[in-house]
Chains A and B, each alone.
Chain A
Amino acid sequence: MTMIGLEIHCQLTNLNSKLFCSCKANYRGFKINENICPICMGLPGSLPRLNQEAVKKATIIAMALNCSTPEKIAFFRKNYFYPDSPKNFQITQLNIYGDTSVGGTGSIMVGDKKIRITRIQLEEDPGRLIYEGSSSKNQITLVDYNRAGTPLVEIVTEPDFETPKEIRDFLNILSDILANLGVADPSLEGAMRADANVSIKGGKKVEIKNIGSFHDLEKAVHFEITRQESLHSREIEIVQETRHWDDRRKITVSSRSKEEDLDYRYFLEGDIPWVKIDPETQKTLSSQMPESISSKKERYVSKYNIPAQVADVLSSDKYYSDLFEESHTELNAKEVANIITTDLMGLVDTREKREASKFTSVHLKELADSIQSGKISKNSSKNALHEILKTGKNLTTIIKELDLGNVSDESELSGIICQVISEESQAVEQTKSNPQTINYLVGKVMQKTKGKADPSLTLDLLKKQIGI
């Protein structure tokens, strides 16, 4: 049997400051080594100052993944030398003196399968290494410490996965949950990373590190399973080891460092007292947690009668569900859901497009309301949506500028209908024996008005003029 476990690292990108200092948590967009201070650079004499909000956010994540949350959490030092780590130790969490990590055991459902969480820990991200030079001889290592100290939540799972597909489904659900909690933006580059451990047929466990993206994770796991199966079939022993994902060659490579060289000498971080998270605070945090994705979905279906499939799409993406929540009313809910899932989704499917667009929930509400009141036709609304995304102007202005408003003036519409009746005398005749033919005539009116005729008014007037 194949057993795969994951260690997922998620940056708490929505925080203002780093885990132990007041530099910015989201280091993107700074010049090299501009987002640093004596604390995150580990300068002599500096001491860590734990970010209260980071502890809260990590606790909320633990709660959302159904993990136990202890009343006291402790921090440990993991000692190892590497140039991206300014102190040459990382402040992290462990459970060696009881359950003192921010999250204990928990689980989430992926389809019908339960994936167990071993532990959730809060820790600091290291800096970033940049290698220059083509060969190992002339290699130069450059370090940018802007990322050093960024708050990370590490989610450790039990080896409950059997296939890369299960991993993908799990990570999709996990990303949605984290985004929905408002703690992180998984779409930011490098905001979520994962290591995997893989074993087959009850054999030794192999760790794979250095995997850049979730996409590569699937590939790396797939490669590793194949590699191990091939060894197994040739009766070659699989050794317990750490392997690195070689992004260029798309294979896993054995790391040179031996196990005994990695003695992390974990011990308690004396500069951070144990943090008490009293039951009262836990209760408050739990009550402040955003509504879960599944609860949202249920509400959309039961309250607004939105089809389950639409509700599923709408609830799992925080961007869409936020838009929905902010713009819907009892009356327009279905229409809002429709606009989002049929028209909007194709236009803002990436983070870049969302950031570039000038679309807000105010626009969405206006659009849905206008469709319902007949101010704009369904057809024209699509054009209006394009224009809003581009310019951010309000709907009334766009209707005026692009002449998208419905023809709902009775006398104007009557004139056009008269014209259609005289041109389509044969069809008019047919309506008397076959009432369905009237739809053909409505279509003709629409053609003449470029789709702007108010459909129900058109139908009424047609019937009246023909006399059926």
Chain B
Amino acid sequence: MNLKISALDFIQEVKTGNISAEDFVAKTIERIQNVDDKLHAFLSVNQKAVDQARKIDKKVKSGEKVGDCFGMPISIKDNLCIKDSKTTCASKMLEDFIAPYDATVITKLKRQDAIFVGKVNMDEFAMGLTTEFSAFGPSKNPWNADYVPGGSSGGSAVSVSAFECVASLGSDTGGSVRNPASFCSTVGYKPTYGLISRFGLISYANSIEQIGPLTRTVKDTAFMLNMISGIDPNDSTTIDNKNEDYLSEIDSGIEGKKIGIIQEMIGEGIDPAVLSATKDAISKLESLGAICEEISLDMVKYSVAAYYTITATEAGSNLARYDNLRYGYDFPLEGYEFNSYISKARRNFGPEVTRRLIIGGFVPSTGHAGKYFLKALKVKSKLTKEINNVFKKFDLLISPTVPILPFKLGEKIDDPVSLFLVDINTVTANLTGKPAISIPFANSNGLPIGIQLMANSSQDKLLLQAAHALEKTVNLPEVPI
């Protein structure tokens, strides 16, 4: 059995009876058991997955109506709620938390007969870009286990890349889907803000984050978007996409499309291998008939500072609810006064979360809000204006997803400010609400390089068409695991 097939191929094979969902899922679970000791993508594995697959096979055989996923094994980042199962956010604070309801994306996928093989690792509460801040230990990069897989959706990228599932759902607050996708050589998608319901996604910085798929191919991402996007009464920030079919016309190509090359994202600090890959991507796009031109987004310089100011502020508020009273971990309250109890209980947050919560208390506080938080909001507004202006003339924007190559575990964990700079190319899409995708494009000495394309709001379909065109020019080695 070939576990390396795409989601669309899997569906075709099960539909036609060439393979059974049960076999495929059983083999997938076996694969997880074989490789995950080394990679640590999974925090929990669904013991009922094979039984659930068997039921779908029965439906296929009896000619009963089957959902569009046909038992496709999907991994889910552990900050998405699945009813009656553990949702930990890779935090000791939520080690025992059982979600009492399904996230909207989970409800939609269940309806389409997807199978959740397990919950995958992440940086605690999605704060980080290496997955090293997971309270349950880091995940490893399948291309080289000494290297970080990126983050915060590291478990998602690893599980797709190492064939422990066919597709995964992650969340992207500042690049948390695209960054690990780039580091692990998978497709990673951050949709237009509001395209996918956040109901059931445990908030980190709610005003800019989105759930996004990680898949082997751009077509698979388009398929996943078809499954999970659309307006949701449970999330007032969702937009009506009129049931857009992202898969149809995916072969439209990019002839005549104008693509802006963002200067600020290929400048100082970029790895030469990444730069040359980017140039290569540009020339490939030009050879497909696109017109590429350098453009400048002034505010990108300030975007990372604005991003961390805004996300820390929202996190400080979103994570305030974890006071260990209504749910949490076992820590008796006898003898404590309220404030001292919760201050002690909240020590169970890891060091990075704690740092960001402290920053999140500082930057919006009386006396400091004007210097930090308010300015950050204004940078966000101005950056949005700048990018909207660019999109008046251009259809797409291109940059490397991450300006540097994957680095070793432990290499940057003690230097938060140098980690900040890894985010420079990805946060713009979050701050402006634009859709962005990372496409596996090159490989430098066994380490993957991803290329990022961005489009204007609600131009997700156009973005996927362009990404598909670029993807077709690529021929990459197979992951050495």
Contact = CB atoms under 8 A, between A and B. Distances in A.
Interface in A199-242: none
Nearest to A50: B236
B6 interface: no
A225 to B, nearest CB: 30
Interface stretch (B33-41, B112-120, B133-141, B319-327): B319-327
Interface in A67-122: 77, 79, 81, 83, 86-89
Nearest to B373: A267
Interface residues of A, number: 30
Nearest to A46: B199
A271 interface: yes
Interface string A2-21: 00000000000000000000
B207 A270 contact: yes
A271 B237 contact: yes
Interface string B92-110: 0010010111010000000
Contacts of A271: 203, 206, 235-237
Given A42-B321, A79-B317, A86 B326 contact: yes
A224 B255 CA distance: 77
B364 interface: yes
B87 to A, nearest CB: 7
A41 B236 contact: no
Contacts of A42: 321
B338 A270 contact: no
B304 to A, nearest CB: 19
B62 interface: no
Given A41-B326, A44-B89, A44-B97, A49 B236 contact: yes
A81 B323 contact: yes
Interface string A30-45: 0000000010011111
B202 A45 contact: yes
A43 to B, nearest CB: 7
A267 B317 contact: yes
A263 interface: yes
Contacts of A270: 206-208, 237, 314
Contacts of A86: 321, 326
A81 B365 contact: no
Contact of B320 (A43, A79, A267): A79
Nearest to A89: B317
Contact of B234 (A43, A47, A268): A47
A431 to B, nearest CB: 82
Contact of A45 (B201, B323, B338): B201
Nearest to B93: A44
Nearest to A261: B339
B184 interface: no
A308 interface: no
Contacts of A50: 236
Contacts of A356: none
A141 B320 contact: no
Nearest to A36: B326
Contacts of A81: 320, 323, 338-339, 342
* Residue from the set A42, A49, A79, A272 with the largest chain B CB neighbour count within 10 Å: A79
Nearest to B205: A270
Contacts of B230: none
* Residue from the set B199, B235, B321 with the largest chain A CB neighbour count within 10 Å: B321
B338 A141 contact: yes
Interface in B197-250: 198-203, 206-208, 233-237
A279 interface: no
A290 interface: no
A273 B236 contact: yes
A87 B320 CA distance: 7
A87 to B, nearest CB: 5
A265 interface: yes
Contacts of A141: 338
B384 interface: no
Contacts of B89: 44
Contacts of A46: 199
B428 interface: no
B313 interface: yes
A263 B313 CA distance: 13
A266 to B, nearest CB: 8
A200 B203 CA distance: 47
Contacts of B366: 263, 265
A146 to B, nearest CB: 14
Interface in B440-470: none
Given A47-B235, A47-B236, A265 B201 contact: no
Interface in A416-466: none
Given A44-B202, A45-B201, A86-B321, A273 B365 contact: no
5 contacts: A50-B236, A77-B317, A81-B342, A271-B203, A271-B206
Given A79-B316, A87-B320, 16 more contacts: A44-B81, A44-B87, A44-B202, A45-B80, A45-B81, A47-B206, A47-B234, A81-B342, A83-B325, A88-B321, A141-B338, A143-B325, A267-B314, A267-B317, A270-B237, A272-B236
- A-B residue pairs, 7 tightest by C-beta: A270-B207, A88-B320, A44-B202, A45-B200, A265-B364, A45-B81, A270-B206
